[in-house]
Chains A and B, each alone.
Chain A
Amino acid sequence: MAPIDVRLVGVTKRFGDTLAVDHIDLEVESGEFFSLLGPSGCGKTTTLRMIGGFEQPTEGRIELQGEDVTWLPPYRRNVNTVFQNYALFPHLNVYDNIAFGLRRRRVPEREIRARVAEMLRLVELTGFEKRRPSQISGGQAQRVALARALVNRPAVLLLDEPLGALDLKLRKQMQVELKRIQQEVGITFIYVTHDQEEAMTMSDRIAVMNRGRYEQLGDPESLYERPASRFVAGFLGVSNLLPAILDGTVGDYAVARLRDDTPVRIPRGQTAGLSRIEVGVRPEKIRLREPDEPVPDGHNTLTGVVRDASYMGVSTSYIVEIRGGARLTVYEQNVERATRSELWRPGEEVRLSWSPDHTFVVPVEDDRSSDEEVPAA
């Protein structure tokens, strides 16, 4: 196992009466691209700021490469931060911005020149040395901020929604770029974002945060395929959740019954220890068929009526109302039914089916108020 670069032990932060971060334990491995993902106000930025030294935890301990840094000021920690709005020094040019950290550590000017040049090459901004922050674009400013932090060769780089201010196209481009740079320099990245797609694209591991804690921690695939809570299922992509009751097993699968008694199969490992559950399935895993068309053996099957169809070019998004009144979202690639006239039309009866291996389960939470924070599917 790789050595641990950052360790949080029972870290808690209160601002007055509000609990921003609630007893978080976390270990980030060396060289990892680690994301803290969650809606605004979930405590992800506060957690990052505590690692950076801009806030002190109310309780708990923060370790950097084994050293307790909980009470050290930012300038005594071997971490650097890329701020949300870049925070480039407006009175210094690009070169002096990047050289700022090295000069504070009294690195000889000759070495500074070489290292700044190397960084500018890494972020592809060679030739911009003399520009002021006001004379470069948002994307360029973002890369200068990155270079300014990386040039110090920190143990850990903290990034606070660094792409938030960029437009969509540039953001996509920078995601690829960031991942490339991270692999090239091999530094541990801790990345804060509220954009699930961004986190999924770049991260080795993601902690999905909600109300000061993380609800699930894992690699993007396991978070997406087997979300552990209603919140995670709703925050990462769109999911269809149906309340059900467990009712025995068939082979490798557990069987749950929906409200209208329809049986749904679930991989057995997932239901251990649960009583009240909701079964979930991602929209792209569901296939729509004519009501009389045969379904592969063992697949979960529901019948319903198409209520809405939104043509999106590459795919079509349907809302299907099943028996019992629940509405499911279904994505279909526009392959078999490629033109608009061939799509399922509202009012048509359809049969929905999906492989039981694509079914996941989340526990029913008694705390109903948590529903409010689940983005609408």
Chain B
Amino acid sequence: MAREAAVTELAGPRLGWLDRFARVFDRYLLLIYTGFAVLYLMLPIFVIALFSVNDPIGRSNVAWRAFTLKYWLDPFGVPGLFDAVATSLKIAFASTVVATALGTLIALALVRYQFRGAGATNLLIFIPMATPEIVMGASLLTMFVAIGRPPFFPLNELTILIAHIMFNISYVVVTVRARLVGFDRHLEEAAMDLGANEWATFWRVTFPLILPGIIAAALLAFSLSIDDFVITNFTAGRTVTFPMYIWGAARIGIPVQVNVIGTLIFLVAVGFVALSVVLGRRRA
């Protein structure tokens, strides 16, 4: 304090308010910026959560009226919502499992082996991510209809699943490959040197080490599947998924239950992230 006072005296009679403001601003600039960024990202989610405990009059849930928990106690109290959520979860689980298994194997092959067509495969993996969803959905629809004279390909949950597995594979390959690129091959050699055959080497060494990448890929695949609307809408036929349900409901007013389910999904996602952070920290 004393030294600061001395500096002040040397610098002039007194620091102007502008200088002080500049100092504070300097020190907290990053903090302020971060605060705004977080606010920007979280505000819509906050609004969703807030309106899940609103008690609106009529169908339109856009103006705050009163606090209630009745929709939380009865989250599936509107017709069709439960089926839509169940369908979405089913497709998300199935497409995640299949895409993660296939994508992991593709990533292993692409990183580990040099084979004819590796370059082309890399390109093909990238195409579904680069293609606009609307184009992808339209062409899938065309394809299913073209090859789908009944009874072969009626548009239903299966066609949605095929479409979701297809675009999910690309994201899984990219995520797992990133984990594999830095993988020390000597670890596998060491395992074999210590008596582990190829099978044991994979399950005891390779798999545990790339597991974080596989989990990340699976979470990504799951979230891409559960909220996909465009491609799903083209390939769904008469099936209704959760995003399609919301889209349909939006025309007449979204029921509060949708906010409840949305908030729940968000909380589950946050829970997963928190879990992975905790696990990661304990491992380190």
Contact = CB atoms under 8 A, between A and B. Distances in A.
Interface in B184-235: 184, 186-187, 189-197, 200, 204-205, 208-209
Interface in A78-94: 79-81, 83-85, 87-91
B187 A75 contact: no
Nearest to B200: A104
A75 B192 contact: yes
| Residue of A81, A88, A91, A105 contacting most chain B CB atoms (<10 Å) | A91
Interface residues of B, number: 19
Contacts of B6: none
A85 B186 contact: yes
A237 B186 CA distance: 32
A105 B194 CA distance: 9
A149 B200 CA distance: 18
Given A89-B205, A91-B209, A52 B193 contact: yes
Contacts of A88: 190
Interface string A82-120: 011101111100000000110011000000000000000
Interface centre among B193, B195, B200, B209, by most chain A C-beta atoms within 10 angstroms, is B193
A84 B186 CA distance: 9
Interface residues of A, number: 25
A89 B190 contact: yes
B184 A75 contact: no
Contacts of A346: none
Contacts of A80: 193-194
A3 interface: no
A75 B187 CA distance: 14
B13 to A, nearest CB: 57
A104 B198 CA distance: 12
Contacts of A148: 194
Nearest to A145: B190
Contact of A75 (B196, B205, B283, B284): B196
Given A89-B187, A90-B209, A104-B200, A81 B193 contact: yes
Contact of A101 (B194, B283, B284): B194
A79 B190 CA distance: 11
A100 B197 contact: no
A282 to B, nearest CB: 38
Contacts of A84: 186
B29 to A, nearest CB: 35
A160 B31 CA distance: 50
Interface string B158-187: 000000000000000000000000001011
A152 B195 contact: yes
B192 A74 contact: yes
A54 interface: yes
A74 B189 contact: yes
A85 B189 CA distance: 12
A127 interface: no
A152 B192 contact: no
A291 interface: no
B186 A91 contact: no
B194 A83 contact: no
Interface of A: 52-54, 73-75, 79-81, 83-85, 87-91, 100-101, 104-105, 134, 148-149, 152
16 contacts: A54-B192, A74-B192, A75-B192, A75-B195, A80-B194, A81-B193, A83-B190, A87-B186, A87-B187, A87-B190, A91-B283, A101-B194, A101-B195, A148-B194, A152-B194, A152-B195
Interface of B: 184, 186-187, 189-197, 200, 204-205, 208-209, 283-284
Given A74-B193, A75-B194, A85-B186, 10 more contacts: A52-B189, A74-B189, A83-B189, A83-B190, A85-B184, A91-B208, A100-B191, A101-B195, A104-B196, A149-B193
**Shortest beta-carbon contacts, A-B, top 5:** A101-B194, A104-B195, A87-B186, A87-B190, A74-B192
